[in-house]
A and B are shown apart, each in its own frame.
Chain A
Amino acid sequence: MSGNIAIKVEGISKSYKATKALENINLEIKEGEIFGLIGPDGAGKTSLFRILTTLSIADSGKASVNGRDVVDNYEDIRRTIGYMPGHFALYQDLSVEENLNFYATVFGTTVEENYDTIKEIYSQIEMFKTRRAGALSGGMKQKLALCCALVHKPDVLFLDEPTTGVDAVSRKEFWAMLSRIKKSGVTIMVSTPYMDEASLCDRIALILNGKIIDQGTPEEIRSHYRNRLYSVKGNNMFQILQILSPLSGILSCSSFGCECHVAVDDNGPDEKSLLATLESKGVTGCTVERINASIEDCFIGLS
C-alpha cells in the first residue's frame, strides 16, 4: 500500500435547511485501501458520498479525489470513479447484459475491453445475462451493480451501503469480493451501518449525527476505548440488563447476542462485585469476564 492520498476531505460542512447533515468533516483516505464509513441511517454517510462523487456541493470546506477538486474538476472525477449508490442504480427494464453495456458505453469503453476487471463477479451472474434487472434477487442485483460501477476500470470506487438488507452469508461473500478488487489497486470507500464489517476495512471513520466521532484502523479505535468492559453471560439476558443498568458506576449495559456487555467507569464495580450483585438478586449461574472493546462497544461508548 502506498502512502499517497486518494481522497482528501477538509472541513466539509453541509446543511439542508435547518438540518446539519455534515459538520466539519476531515478525512484522508490512502491509495489502495478499503476505507469504511460506519454509522446508522441519517448519520450523513450519503451526504458525504454525494459531495465526493460531485453530485452535491458542500456549504464550506473542500475535498479532492485523486488530487482533483470535487468542484473545479468534477468532470475529471466523474470519469475516473465508480459509484454504487444505496439504491442500486440499475435500469429495471434492461437485461443484465444491457445494463452492463450501457454503463460501459457511457464511459466510452466496452465490456470486452475491461472484461478482466469484472470477470470474477460477472461470471457469477453471466448465466442470467438475458434476465431483466428488475427480476433479479437482491444478491444478484448487488453483483450486477458492482460490475456496472467497475466496468470502466475506475481508480476509486464509492460504495454507499452495498450490504444493507443483505443476509449474513451474502454479506461475507460481498466483502470477500471487495478484498479481491482491492488487490487490483483500486481505492475503495464504503459505507455501512453494520458495525461487524468495520474489522474488514483497513481504516474506518465512525460517523454519527453529521460528525466523525473517531477514525483510524479498527485496532486503533478499539485501543481508544477508555472504560473497563465486562462480558456477563447468563440464562436470562433481560433480567441481567434490568439488574445491572441502574447500578452506580455503570455507564452502559448492552446485549451482544448471548452476552451482556457492561461498561464501567473508574469507580464502578469489578467482576466480583457484579457477580455478587446478580447473585444477591437471585440470578445464579452467571459468568463475568473482562473483555476488550469491539467497534460496536466503541460506538456505543461515543454515542
Chain B
Amino acid sequence: MENREKTVIIKHLVKRFGDFTAVNDISFDVHKGEIFGFLGANGAGKTTAIRILCGLSKPTSGEGTVAGYNIRNQQEAIKKHIGYMSQKFSLYPDLKVWENIELFGGIYGLSDKQIAEKTTKMLKALSMEDARDMFVRDMPLGWKQKLAFSISMVHDPQIVFLDEPTGGVDPVTRRNFWKMIYQAASNGVTVFVTTHYMDEAEYCDRVSIMVDGVVEALGSPSQLKERYSANTMDEVFTKIAGRSIREE
C-alpha cells in the first residue's frame, strides 16, 4: 500500500469559521485509482473538507496535496487538474450535447483539435453519436448523468470528485452509473465520492465517515463492518454517525 501513488495527501487539516471548528484535524491519503467514499451526517464537515480539496477554500491549518498540488498555495492548479460533478449542477440544459462538451473542454483549456477528438471519442464510448445535436434538457436523466460524468473528465484529470452523484436517481440508472465509476477507477482515475445511499458505500474501496468535524472511521467496507460488528454499512453508519453530539 505505502508504495502506491497517492492522489490525495491530507495532514492535520483544520478549518474554523469564527469560533466554530467545521473540520477538526483530519488526516488521510487516497491512492491512485481508488474509489474513496467520503461519508458523514449532514453538518459533519464534509462539504467544508471537499471545498478545501477542490481548491475553493483555504484551510485554517494543516497541509496537503491534491493531484500533486498544494492545497494552501496552488489552488488554481488544483482546479485545473481535478474533475467535479454533482447531481445538483453539472450540465447546461439549454446547450446541445456537443456544445456542453465544447464549453467544458474550452474552460479546461483544451485546443479545438483536442475538443473535436474528445467529442468523437466520448460520444462513441457513451453510444450517443446520434444525440450529438440534442439539447441536454431533452435527454433522459440516465443519459445526462453519464454525459455529465464523462464531461467532468474531459481534461483527463487524475481525480474526480462526485458530490452525491446519484441523489434521486432511479435504481437501474443508479447502478449503471456505478459501472461507469468502476470503469474510470480501473483506468487509473481516483474517484472521491459522497453519497447518502449506504448500499453505495459498500461499492467503495475504502470509506471514511466524518462525525462532528473529525474522521471517526476509515477503512474498507469489510474492515469497518468487522470492527463495528455490523452486517451492512448502513448499520456501521448508524452506529458511528448516531453518536454525533454536535447539533449540525
A residues sitting closer than 8 Å to B (CB atoms) are 39-43, 127-128, 136-140, 161, 164-172, 193-195, 208, 237-238, 241, 254-258, 296, 299-300, 303
> Contact at B172–A193, with CB atoms within 8 Å?
no
Given contacts A168-B198, A254-B175, A258-B202, contact A39 B170 (CB under 8 A): yes
Within B208-228, the residues touching A (CB, 8 Å) are 221-222
B157 lies within 8 A of chain A by Cβ: no
B191-248 CB contacts (< 8 Å) to partner A: 196-199, 201-203, 221-222, 232-234, 237-238, 241-242, 244, 247-248
For B203, give its contact among A40, A43, A194, A255 (CB under 8 Å). A255
Whether the Cβ atoms of A303 and B42 lie closer than 8 Å is no
Distance of A184 Cα from B201 Cα, bound (Å) = 37
CA distance A303 to B170 in the complex (A): 9
Contact present for B199 and A257 (CB under 8 Å): yes
Closest Cβ of chain B to A46, distance in Å, is 11
| With A40-B141, A166-B42, A258-B202: A299-B175 Cβ-Cβ less than 8 Å | no
Say if the beta carbon of B27 comes within 8 Å of chain A.
no
Chain B contacts for A299, CB-based, 8 A = 170-171
Q: Assess whether A168 is in contact with B241, with CB atoms less than 8 Å apart.
A: yes
CB closest chain-B residue, reference A18: B138
Which residues of chain B are within 8 angstroms of A171 by Cβ–Cβ distance? 196
Which chain B residues (156-184) contact chain A, with CB distance < 8 Å?
164, 167-173, 175, 178-179, 182
A193 & B42 in contact (Cβ 8 Å cutoff): no
Known interface pairs A137-B43, A137-B248; A172-B238 also in contact (CB < 8 Å): yes
Query: Quick check: is B37 within 8 A (CB to CB) of the other chain?
Result: no
With contacts A139-B43, A168-B198 taken as known, whether A296 is within 8 angstroms of B171 at the C-beta atoms is: yes
The tally of residues in B whose CB lies under 8 Å from a CB in A reads: 36
Considering the chains assembled together, what is the distance between the CA atoms of A37 and B111 in angstroms?
48
The reply to whether B203 and A193 contact each other, CB–CB distance below 8 Å, is no
Across the interface, name the chain A residue whose C-beta is closest to B234.
A168
By the criterion CB–CB under 8 Å, are A168 and B238 in contact? Answer: yes
Give Cα A58–Cα B122 distance, bound, in whole angstroms: 41
User: Chain A's nearest CB lies how many Å from the CB of B44?
Assistant: 8
State whether the Cβ of B105 lies closer than 8 Å to any Cβ in chain A. Answer: no
Q: Any chain A CB within 8 A of the CB of B134?
A: no
Q: Across the interface, do A40 and B173 meet the contact criterion of CB distance under 8 Å? A: yes
Docked complex Cα distance between A127 and B199 (Å): 35
Q: Nearest Cβ in chain B — how far from A146, in angstroms?
A: 15
Q: A165-B42, A193-B169 are in contact. List 16 more A-B contacts (CB 8 A).
A: A41-B168, A137-B42, A138-B248, A139-B248, A140-B248, A165-B196, A168-B241, A169-B237, A237-B203, A256-B199, A257-B202, A257-B233, A257-B234, A296-B171, A300-B171, A300-B172
Is residue B50 contacting chain A, with contact meaning CB distance below 8 A? no
Q: In whole Å, how far is A196's beta carbon from the nearest beta carbon of chain B? A: 8
B169 touches A40 (CB 8 A): yes
- Which A-chain residue is minimally distant from B232 (CB atoms)? A257
Q: Is B103 an interface residue (CB 8 A)?
A: no
CB distance from B41 to the nearest CB of A (A): 4
CA distance A51 to B175 in the complex (A): 32
26 contacts between A and B (CB under 8 A): A39-B170, A40-B173, A42-B141, A127-B247, A137-B43, A139-B41, A140-B247, A161-B168, A164-B168, A165-B164, A165-B167, A168-B198, A168-B241, A169-B237, A169-B244, A170-B41, A193-B167, A193-B168, A193-B169, A238-B182, A241-B179, A256-B199, A258-B222, A299-B170, A299-B171, A303-B171
Cβ-based interface call for B40 (8 A): yes
The 10 closest A-B pairs by CB, nearest first: A40-B170, A137-B248, A41-B168, A257-B199, A257-B202, A137-B43, A167-B41, A138-B42, A193-B168, A169-B241
Least CB distance, A4 to chain B, in whole angstroms:
33
Check B238 against A169 for contact (C-beta < 8 Å): yes
Q: Is the CB of A254 within 8 A of B171?
A: yes
For A140, A172, A258, which residue has the most chain B Cβ atoms within 10 angstroms? A258
In the complex, the answer to whether B242 meets A169 with C-beta atoms within 8 Å is yes
For B196, the chain A residues whose CB sits under 8 A away are 165-168, 171
Q: With A and B bound together, what is the CA distance between A41 and B201 in angstroms?
A: 21
Residues on A with C-beta less than 8 A from B221 are 258
Q: How far is the CA of A111 from the CA of B248 in the complex (A)?
A: 25
Residues on B with C-beta less than 8 A from A136 are 248
Q: How far is the CB of A289 from chain B (nearest CB, A)?
A: 14
Instruction: Establish whether residues A167 and B42, one from each chain, have CB atoms under 8 Å apart when the complex forms.
Output: yes
A159 CB to closest chain B CB (Å) equals: 15
Closest-by-CB residue of A relative to B239 is: A169
Closest chain A CB from B157 CB (angstroms):
22
Please give, as numbers and ranges, the residues of chain B lying within 8 Å of A40 by CB-CB distance: 141, 168-171, 173
Q: Which residues from chain B contact A303 at a C-beta distance below 8 Å?
A: 170-172
Q: B32 to nearest A CB, angstroms?
A: 19
CB distance from B208 to the nearest CB of A (A): 14
Among A41, A137, A172, point to the contact of B169 (Cβ < 8 A): A41
A255/B175 in contact, CB under 8 A: yes
Of chain B, the residue at the smallest CB distance from A165 is: B167
Of chain B, the residue at the smallest CB distance from A138 is: B42
| Residues on the A chain within 8 Å of B247, using CB | 127-128, 140
